[in-house]
Amino acid sequence: MALAGFIVIGIVVPLISSRALKESGVNYRREFAGFNSYFLDSIKGIKDIVLNNAEKDREGEVNRRSDILLKETKKMKHGITKAGAATELCVTLFIAISLIVGILLVHFEMLDLGAMLIGVVTIFGSFGPVLAVSALPGNLTQTFASGDRVLNLLSETPAVTPVENGKTFDYENLSVKDLSFAYESSAPVLKDVCMNAKKGEIIGIVGESGCGKSTFLKLLLRFWEKDRGEINYNGIDVDNIDSDNLLDNVTMVSQTTYLFDESIEENLRIAKPNATQEEIERACKMASVHDFIMSLPEGYKTQVGAMGDNLSAGEKQRIGLARAFLKGSELILLDEPTSNVDSINEGMILKSLAEQKSKKSIILVSHRESTMAIADRIYRVDRGVMQEVK
């Protein structure tokens, strides 16, 4: 009888309740994650919310999502309570049955009273661990739902598979031939692009916003795979180059530099974790940001603040540039390095770049003609077609 009780309470009831709880566990986790990211997004964008006087709408949406989350939480708790109640009911039932059977056995003199009492009390006491098993589905469904989300994320396939054990090179020259590329099922962004660059050159690429300049740089780094044509470094096709080696040779400074909520020094070290203080300072001097950092209360140890809000766009950009110099790659790709900055910062950045001319190879992308003053040669992109202009 006790065995029957254990099987029902420890296996049958949990199996049934876990099936019933699964859906609510998954729903709860989904709403929970959705609410979290919406709320975090609202905090990150709080400045723009205030500027657009959209607090009311945003708050309304936060409340709406919070209500949905509450509803899902209640649903889940309700399910867990129901499962718990079913378990308790079964326990009571089995205890009652064993007591009745015990009394009957004593009544018909098939068992003496002492043995019956010991038996019944033992059965009473033995349900503890089984109850613990029975309580598992309530917690486990949520754990499994969370696990599912993580596993789904892990099984996402990247757009490009990194090349492992590929060829290695030390940057000498770059040659691009008949390169064409389109993002999935949209119009071609680049058409038969040809360009070349060699060590020590500053190449400018200029073109209207949206013409494919950033896409071109991403192809050079193999963030996307080209559709047609060739991208050769020292004559080796980019698809055959070891991905780590490619990133050692080529660095990109993007339009906005992301700074982590750490000290400036730690932010720079991302590029080279074991860099010495001298190396860090040299890179910052090259990027014309050393003097600025030294003017801060704690110098290189100054905390950047969440999302780098305490620094101007130009200062952040110069730190991004210092990162690139610190990394030590020969070829540096600069995507609109001066588009977010005022003319003083633009001047400083361009001056730093011009000074590094003999030491580094640079591909400089901008929609502004003024930025092109330091370039040795300039290509212009127009509706996906690239032509040399100087």
Ligand X SMILES: Nc1ncnc2c1ncn2[C@@H]1O[C@H](COP(=O)(O)OP(=O)(O)O)[C@@H](O)[C@H]1O
d(CA 180, CA 190): 5
Q: Is 338 an interacting residue with respect to Mg ion (CB under 5 A)?
A: no
In whole angstroms, how close is the CB of 324 to Mg ion at the nearest point?
17
CA torsion angle 365 372 332 300 (round to 10): -100
- DSSP label of 61: H
d(CA 358, CA 261): 34
Q: Closest CB to Mg ion among 138 and 207?
A: 207
Strands (E), 234-336: 236-237, 250-253, 331-335
Q: Give the CA radius of gyration of the chain.
A: 33
Among 87, 134, 214, 288, binds Mg ion (CB under 5 A): 214
- DSSP label of 1: -
d(CA 181, CA 384): 9
d(CA 358, CA 225): 31
Q: Is 211 an interacting residue with respect to ligand X (CB under 6 A)?
A: yes
- The H-or-E segment that residue 193 falls in is strand 188-198
Q: Closest CB to ligand X among 216 and 300?
A: 216
In whole angstroms, how close is the CB of 228 to ligand X at the nearest point?
17
Q: Closest CB to ligand X among 147 and 210?
A: 210
In whole angstroms, how close is the CB of 226 to ligand X at the nearest point?
14
Among 29, 58, 191, 213, binds ligand X (CB under 6 A): 213
The closest alpha carbon to 77, from 122, 124, 142, 174, belongs to 142
Contact stretch for Mg ion (CB under 5 A) within 30-38, 207-215, 265-273, 308-316: 207-215
Contact stretch for ligand X (CB under 6 A) within 61-69, 209-217, 300-308, 325-333: 209-217
Q: Closest CB to ligand X among 87 and 257?
A: 257
Name which of Mg ion, ligand X, none residue 215 binds, using a CB cut-off of 5 to 8 Å depending on partner kind: ligand X
What does the per-residue mask of binding to ligand X show for 126-165, with x meaning CB under 6 A? ----------------------------------------
* Chain mean position to CA 6: 46
Name which of Mg ion, ligand X, none residue 305 binds, using a CB cut-off of 5 to 8 Å depending on partner kind: none
Q: Closest CB to ligand X among 127 and 216?
A: 216
Q: Is 189 an interacting residue with respect to ligand X (CB under 6 A)?
A: yes
In whole angstroms, how close is the CB of 207 to Mg ion at the nearest point?
9
Contact stretch for ligand X (CB under 6 A) within 183-191, 245-253, 267-275, 290-298: 183-191
d(CA 345, CA 21): 58
Name which of Mg ion, ligand X, none residue 210 binds, using a CB cut-off of 5 to 8 Å depending on partner kind: ligand X
Q: Are 259 and 307 in contact (CB under 8 A)?
A: yes
In whole angstroms, how close is the CB of 292 to ligand X at the nearest point?
28
Output the DSSP codes for 140-184: HHHHHHHHHHHHHHHTPPPSSPPP-S-B-----EEEEEEEEEE-T
Contact stretch for ligand X (CB under 6 A) within 133-141, 212-220, 241-249, 317-325: 212-220
Name which of ligand X, Mg ion, none residue 288 binds, using a CB cut-off of 5 to 8 Å depending on partner kind: none
d(CA 134, CA 9): 6
Q: What does the binding site for ligand X look like in residue numbers (CB under 6 A)?
A: 183, 186, 189, 207, 209-215
